[in-house]
Amino acid sequence: FFFSSRRRHTRCSGVSWARRCVQETDLFEDEYNDKEKESNKKIYFALVEFETHILANEGQLVIGSKLDTDLEANICRIAFNGKLLEFVDMKNENDKQKLKIYRYKEKSGYIDRVSDNKTIIVKDLFKKEANINNYIGKMVTLKANGKQGRIQSSFGTSGKIKVIFQDGVVNEGEDPEALPGTEVTMHYKKYYYR
């Protein structure tokens, strides 16, 4: 099931913590930061998978305990708590695709050549078998000067792409002939269940 919580938790194995984003998607976080200040409260969402069925209703408070700890030990036995948002059958592909959990990724390539003041050809950003149509319109950034452009199309069959810059490839006074070999990066979201 999928649930949320506003309270502080201890990290529990088998629980992946995620932070709610503005676009109603969930950003995966590698670990829960228990040392954040109380004033900077985040709402955390977790996907918890059980080996057997449990009895619970959507909207209910769910509390998970670590029952395998020693009763005499002076430790908290609560593993997690939160409001149950939705049941998700992980064997059902339609249910899994409802989960919009992602991680930020970065790809890097290099300028192969400058076609004109607003167009460059980039190599090594994609493998030659990649479907570049999925990336058309995505933003890329030149590491040298921070200029941003959009992927317009593929260029040939070797994985090269054509990138258009509305404001030009170079700043005033820069030489466009010095750009080949310059690194180009693309930041994007990698969804887990799509």
Q: What is the mean pLDDT of residues 18-40?
A: 49
Average pLDDT over all residues of the chain: 79
**DSSP 3-state assignment of 132?**
helix
User: What pLDDT, on the 0 to 100 scale, is given for residue 113?
Assistant: 94
Straight-line distance from the first to the last Cα atom of the chain, in angstroms, rounded to the nearest whole number: 18
Contacts of 16 (CB under 8 A, 6+ apart): 28, 46, 47, 101
pLDDT in tens, 101-157: 888 999 999 999 999 989 999 999 999 899 999 899 999 999 988 999 999 999 988
Tens digits of per-residue pLDDT, 155-170? Answer: 988 999 999 999 999 8
